[in-house]
Amino acid sequence: MLNNIGIPGLILILILALIIFGPQKLPEIGRAFGNSLREFKKATQGLVSDDEQEEGADKEREKKLAERQKDLEQKTH
């Protein structure tokens, strides 16, 4: 959806925001939007790193399980 906006679309959005909110309120709204965007990015990066840690733990469990299985096979033969 936002991929097709382009520079003219962004300029139009900024002009509309200026008309709707006024020049006094616009910097405050921009700051709030920036802070919200920053928090969202931090949260999504946290989710990605959590997933990567879980994948690493899963691989470690699989490795240990394979080693135990190999040990059992050697003991039974």
pLDDT digit string (tens) for 15-71? Answer: 998 899 888 998 898 899 999 999 999 888 877 776 677 777 778 888 888 888 888
Distance CA 29, CA 33 (A): 6
The predicted model gives 68-77 an average pLDDT of 80
CA count, 13 A, side-chain hemisphere, 47: 5
Decide: 13 and 21 in contact? Cβ < 8 Å: no
The model's pTM: 0.47
Residue 16 pLDDT: 93
Structure tokens at 69: 């299985």
Beta carbons within 8 Å of 18's beta carbon, 6+ residues apart: 26
Phi, psi of 5 (to 5 degrees): -70, -60
Residue 61 pLDDT: 83
Structure tokens at 62: 């699989």
Domain ranges, ordered by start, for the chain: 23-76
